[in-house]
Amino acid sequence: MTNASRPTRFAGESWRTASAMHARVVGAVIMRDLQTRFGAGYFGFLLGLVMPLGHLAIAIGVNFLIGRKPPLGTDIAIFLMTGVLPFVIWLYAHRQIMMALLQNKPLLYFPGVDAFDIFCGRICIEIVNATLIVSVVIITINYTRNGIEISNLSQFMYGLIFSIFFGIGTGVIFGALANFNIIALMFGNILGPLMWVISGIFFLPDEMPDIIRDYIFFNPLTHIIDYLRVAYYSEYSSSFLSIPYLLSTLAALIVLGITIVCVVRRHV
């Protein structure tokens, strides 16, 4: 369907009416997305919550087999949790949001539905999903490790929020670019294993050689993980962490994603 043949959404309507219609469309997209992803039962939904524990278990198992001690603190599970949790939040949001437009493209043929609705619906789902994932992981770690003590809880939560914003930014960018060239999805999927290795899940950036630090400095997820560890461990301070760089990069990614979606709307 060409842009000219599609009805102009909200033309001549008040802002309140347009917003209400937009909210209804996003709500319908969310309901369809939930039913498509999780089906009528709860197995798919529960599996999505348990999978992050699999990432953490793999990381703990590998470190246990090689007999590696944590670079920070005394508990390897806690150290890895502060790295795996933000990674999983980013990865799940990035991957699902990236696929949103491709999986729901037929909805664009309905009057009043555009790319923004599809992305907004998927983003809402991933925010709720990330909240549940954090709850499951924290409760599990707290139960199995006889309690956890976060030095700065508010900063810790901000770090997790940064993770979801990073996933929203990269997911929207690669998902929107895939509308022009499907190869964008391939590059978006490559980011997952790459980030697993280079983001500081298993190491502290301050302990890396200068040449490696110079490269990983440009990775926002490395800063997010370091930010969480500063928040968790009262004895830890980082010379690597740059909050101004992190915040400006996240803002730039969100703005870039919105800009690309605006371009996509004219071609779908």
pLDDT of residue 18: 65
227: left (phi over 0), alpha (psi -120 to 50) or beta: alpha
Number of folded domains in the chain? 1
Whether the per-residue pLDDT at 8 is higher than 60: the answer is: no
Quick one: average pLDDT of 43-51? 68
Band of residue 11 on the pLDDT scale cut at 50, 70, 90: very low
Band of residue 167 on the pLDDT scale cut at 50, 70, 90: very high
pLDDT of residue 95: 92
| Contact criterion met (CB below 8 Å) for 93 and 167 | yes
Whether residue 261 is contained in a domain is answered as yes
Whether residue 23 is contained in a domain is answered as yes
Whether residue 6 is contained in a domain is answered as no
Whether residue 176 is contained in a domain is answered as yes
- The region of weakest confidence among 66-70, 84-88, 118-122, 148-152 is 66-70
pLDDT tens profile 109-150:
877 788 888 899 999 989 988 898 888 888 887 777 766 788
Whether residue 4 is contained in a domain is answered as no
Residue 41: count of CB within 10 angstroms of its CB: 8
Whether residue 179 is contained in a domain is answered as yes
Distance from C-alpha of 239 to C-alpha of 201, rounded to nearest angstrom: 17
Better-scored residue on pLDDT, 183 or 146: 183
Whether residue 10 is contained in a domain is answered as no
Whether residue 96 is contained in a domain is answered as yes
**Which of the residue ranges 11-15, 41-45, 102-106 has the most confident prediction, judged by mean pLDDT?**
102-106
pLDDT tens profile 190-204:
999 999 999 999 999
Better-scored residue on pLDDT, 22 or 248: 248
